[in-house]
């Protein structure tokens, strides 16, 4: 069973490729390497013993994308990760985000329709909910005006898949990720941010190891127990496994609608200070951090209602906060050994 993974050398993509191979799929990766490295392909092979196929090109190149799919009509499905993902950058360069994130999806779908490739799993985000009125947030919560262009591209992409599925054979599962963290147990793959990371966990581990001087905690005046913002952190391998379940669900015709939506979180919210305290406890390292102003565009608190994913997908996140943070720290320690 052959599957295309776009963005397969990236953070979530690479962990998903491993789980797919271990689940019996033959994987071909397409990635433009704009935010990842080709060496990830070899590291995947070290973990699974199987080298995934790899082609380097940009999915916003329509001719290349259509040509690729024409030559891979036997694909059982597509898992589409390839996208730009920095919230801050998306506000500064909106056209880059509309261009990259929407054109790649449109050309992929065009090629899928042309070649009767039916199943797509799409990387969406809890960002589509904005600040939800009720917590935990369920998949039925209203989509609110996006706070960033990044978030807007996820909302539009979901709509593009839904509308495309109406008039042809395309089936889709839209996975709304909460905050993925951690790395594979082998420490052969993990998050490799190019430049200064935006996200909390790599910023914490890089500060602890000495790559960054100080961690800024963005705001302690939120309406939360300790005043810092609350998120639902989920281990990247738990997240990766959900993609295999989702793909199998469509291949075996178990989906209940042409397009289904699932939250991928743990159901637990943790504040920034709680994450920092947990990191200090498990690593034994005292973090240099200071409280600063809120980061523009940040929401106050969000965590997932996971019931639908647990019951319908038969999938559940297995790792708790300590285990996840230890996993991220082991990865940072491994990266230090590599240089």
> What residues line the site for ligand UD1 (CB under 6 A)?
85, 87, 125-127, 179, 198-200, 203, 215-218, 229, 231, 272, 295, 298-299, 302
Rounded to a whole number of angstroms, the minimum distance from the CB of residue 216 to ligand UD1 is 5
Task: List, in sequence order, the alpha helices (H) in 129-266.
Answer: 149-166, 200-209, 236-251
Write 41-48 long-range contacts (CB < 8 A, 24+).
Answer: 41/9, 43/14, 43/188, 43/189, 44/14, 44/17, 44/18, 44/188, 44/189, 46/186, 46/188, 47/18, 47/184, 47/186, 47/188, 47/189, 48/18, 48/21, 48/22
Residue (110 or 298) nearer to ligand UD1, CB: 298
Residue (76 or 216) nearer to ligand UD1, CB: 216
Residue (170 or 272) nearer to ligand UD1, CB: 272
Clarify whether 150 is annotated catalytic. Answer: yes
Rounded to a whole number of angstroms, the minimum distance from the CB of residue 197 to ligand UD1 is 8
Rounded to a whole number of angstroms, the minimum distance from the CB of residue 235 to ligand UD1 is 14
Rounded to a whole number of angstroms, the minimum distance from the CB of residue 39 to ligand UD1 is 23
Rounded to a whole number of angstroms, the minimum distance from the CB of residue 87 to ligand UD1 is 5
d(CA 324, CA 160) in angstroms, rounded, equals: 34
For residues 142-169, one letter each, b for 16 or more C-beta atoms within 10 angstroms of the residue's C-beta and e for the rest, the string is: eeeebbbbbbbbbbebbebbbebbeeee
Catalytic residue from among 11, 97, 107, 150: 150
d(CA 89, CA 97) in angstroms, rounded, equals: 9
**Cis peptide bond N-terminal to 136, omega within 30:** yes
Residue (45 or 298) nearer to ligand UD1, CB: 298
d(CA 13, CA 277) in angstroms, rounded, equals: 29
Residue (62 or 144) nearer to ligand UD1, CB: 144
CA 337 to chain CA mean position, Å: 26
Active site residues: 150
């Amino acid at each position: 069973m052959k599957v295309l993974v776009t963005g397969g050398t990236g953070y979530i993509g690479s962990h998903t490729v491993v789980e797919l191979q271990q689940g019996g799929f033959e994987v071909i990766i397409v990635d433009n390497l704009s935010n990842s490295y080709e060496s990830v392909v070899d590291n995947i092979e070290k973990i699974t013993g199987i080298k995934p196929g790899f082609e380097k090109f940009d999915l916003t190149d329509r001719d290349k994308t259509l040509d690729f799919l024409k030559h891979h009509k036997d694909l059982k499905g597509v898992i589409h990760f390839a996208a730009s993902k920095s919230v801050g950058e998306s506000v500064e360069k909106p056209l880059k985000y509309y261009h990259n994130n929407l054109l790649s999806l449109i050309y992929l779908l065009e090629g899928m329709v042309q070649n009767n490739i039916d199943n797509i799993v799409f990387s969406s985000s809890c960002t589509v909910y904005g600040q939800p009125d009720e917590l935990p947030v369920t998949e039925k919560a209203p989509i609110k005006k996006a706070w960033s262009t990044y978030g807007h591209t996820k909302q539009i992409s979901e709509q593009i898949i839904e509308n495309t599925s109406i008039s042809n054979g395309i089936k889709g599962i839209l996975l709304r990720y909460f905050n993925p963290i951690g790395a594979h147990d082998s420490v052969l793959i993990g998050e490799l941010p190019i430049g200064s990371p935006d996200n909390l966990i790599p910023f914490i581990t890089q500060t602890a190891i000495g790559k960054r001087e100080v961690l800024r905690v963005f705001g302690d005046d939120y309406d939360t127990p300790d005043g810092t913002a609350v998120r639902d952190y989920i281990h990247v391998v738990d997240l990766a496994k959900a993609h295999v379940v989702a793909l199998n669900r469509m291949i075996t015709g178990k989906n209940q609608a042409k397009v289904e939506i699932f939250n991928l979180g743990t159901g637990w919210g943790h504040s920034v200070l709680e994450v920092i305290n947990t990191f200090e406890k498990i690593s034994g390292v005292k973090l240099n951090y200071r409280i600063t102003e809120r980061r523009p565009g940040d929401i106050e608190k969000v965590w997932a209602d996971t019931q639908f994913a647990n019951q319908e997908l038969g999938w559940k996140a297995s790792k708790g906060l300590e285990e996840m943070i230890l996993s991220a720290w082991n990865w940072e320690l491994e990266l230090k050994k590599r240089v």
